[in-house]
Structures are given as C-alpha cells and as structure tokens.
Amino acid sequence: MSNIPSQIRDSVIVIAGASSGFGRGAALELAKQGAKVVVAARRGELLDELVGQITAHGGTAIAAVTDVSLESDVTNLARLAVETFGRIDVWINNVGVGAIGYFWDIPVDVHARVVDVNLKGLIYGAHAALQQFLKQDGGTLVNVGSVDSEVPLGLQNTYAATKAAVLSLSRTLNEELRLHGSEERVRIATIMPWAIDTPWWDHAANYTGHAPRMTAMDDPSLVVEAIVSACTNPKEEMPVGPKAHLSNISHRLFPDLTERLSATMAQRESLKGSPLEPHKGTLFSPMPEGRGVEGGIAHGQYRLSQEGLR
C-alpha cells in the first residue's frame, strides 16, 4: 500500500533552498495549495519575508536558517519539522551552487565547496528524510538535479559532476528501497531541468572573466510545476521541458556529438558578456542580490556589480 500523499493539502513539506529561485516558487505554490511548508536556506531575512508572505495569504509556514553543508543544521531542520507538525511527508533537496569557468582556473576550495553543498548537503538531507520516512512508513524525497545529470557541460565542471552524482544516488536509493521492500511507501524523484532563469547565475562563482549571458533558457515556473507534481506523483526521473527531454534523448543516441555541441554552446554563452573580475559568488557567504524566483539573466540583467563582489 502506498503512503505517498494523494493531495498537497495538509502535507508537511520541507524545502531546502527556499530563499530564491524555484525553491521559493515551490514554497509559495505548495502553501497556496494548502501544504504546511518548512522553508530552509542561509538567508534568514528572506525566509522570514517568505513566511510572512505565505501566512498573510492564510498559509502555514515556518523557517529554519540552514547551511546544508553542515550535517547538524540539516538534522536540526528535520527535528524542527517533526516537532512542529509531527511528520514529514515530502522533503525537497533543492540547494545548488555552481562555479563557471575552466576547471584549472577555479580554485580548489571553490570546487570543494560545490561538492560540500550540492552533494554532501543532498546526502545529509536524503539521510534525514529517509530515516523519518521509514520510521513513519511513508514519504517522498524530491532531489533536484539538472540536465547536467545526464549531459556533462563544459565550464560547469564540478557542478555537472555533482549533479551526475545526484542522479546516481537517487537511482541507487530507489534500488535499495526495492530491496528493503519499501519502494511502494517511500519514493524518490529526481527533477532534471534545462538551464533556468533564476538567481543561480547571480550567485554562481565565476572565473571566465565575463558576466554570463544565456539564451534559450526556460522559465522557472516549469520547474516549480514539476516539483509540485513530484510531491503527489513522483517519478524516478523527471526531465523538465522539451529542451531537457531532447537533450537527454540526443545524448543517449549521439553522446559524443551532444557533448561537443553542449560544450561549444556553453563556451560561447559564458564568454560573451561584459568583463567581470573573478569572484566566489555566494558559495561561502550569502549576498543580498538575487532575491526572487526569476533571475533576469536571459535578458542580460546580470545584477552583481564589481563593487558588490569585493
């Protein structure tokens, strides 16, 4: 018998990475549909603003300032959710940071930080969620990967590696749940979006010498819809939008050609913006820029000034 929630209303949903981007968008939409949301991120003032926005419209939300690279923070997040609402129905691992540039130009500490957040942070979240789901005999884990989970992308090297690891871990955990006899009660979905116009581009470390300029990006609403859908109808792998679907199909049929075309496109897009000094973005500490669901990078609206990056 499945214990996956059949509806959003009254479900308890933890969202890591909820201060901006599609994490914020998912929190707003899930609360609108009646979920009790627990929002987590490093920027406490934005979480408070988000909770205020949700409760002002009659929703239920609480916030937990959380750095997912710290196991203790993630453990406390899970504890807060259970102590407040008695259970966790859905856990959304949405946190992701990146560094753009040639691998050898990016400092080792930046590569390590991407791994700490994107992979170790996801492991901490998955571990806390699965322990609770098995204890209460049901729940859904939603891991946010990327089209990079299937198609490696040049100049996003360690980010692509961590997103490939996200998909591999999700596949492994689904097999372990089958072996454990829990696959009908505990489900894991991996969301795999195309490049999305969110504040991620403002927040990513950059060692290309140029502000990013990306075209043919998808709207974050597509990912928000996919995350919401996964809460009640989880599928093991969920590419988001036609571009992600076509990219995955192309890579399976023509892997070498697809990787060459993707890398060439990434180089062209990453190196055509205005000059920009190297910076570490928000990897080690949050910044005030990039507060909404959308980013504006698709229209060349790179928000960060040189002064703000020093």
> Is 159 one of the annotated active-site residues of the chain?
yes
Q: What is the pLDDT of residue 12?
A: 98
From CA 77, how far away is CA 39, in angstroms rounded? 9
Matching residue, tokens 């009254």:
10
Q: What is the pLDDT along the chain (310 residues), one digit of tens a residue?
A: 455 666 899 999 999 999 988 899 999 999 999 999 999 999 999 999 999 999 999 999 999 999 999 999 999 999 999 999 999 999 999 989 999 999 999 999 999 999 999 999 999 999 999 999 999 989 999 999 988 888 888 889 999 999 999 999 999 999 999 999 999 999 999 999 877 777 777 888 999 998 877 667 778 889 999 999 999 999 999 989 777 777 778 878 888 888 888 888 777 777 777 888 999 998 999 877 766 666 665 555 444 443 333 3
Tell which residue, 237, 231, 235, 224, has the closest CA to residue 6: 231
pLDDT at 270 (0 to 100): 72
The domain 12-303 is placed in CATH, from the list 2.60.40.10, 3.40.50.720, 3.40.47.10, 1.10.3720.10, at 3.40.50.720
Q: 3-class DSSP state for residue 229?
A: helix
d(CA 91, CA 81): 10
Buried b (16+ CB within 10 A) or exposed e, 103-134: eeebeeebbebbbbbbbbbbbbbbebbbebbe
Instruction: State residue 105 phi and psi, 5-degree precision.
Output: -85, -15
What is the residue extent of each domain of the chain?
12-303
Which candidate in 102, 124, 159, 302 is catalytic? Answer: 159
User: Largest Cα–Cα distance in the chain?
Assistant: 57
115 phi/psi in degrees, rounded to 5: -65, -40
| Prediction pTM value | 0.90
pLDDT at 233: 95
Question: Is the Cβ–Cβ distance between 304 and 278 less than 8 Å?
Answer: no
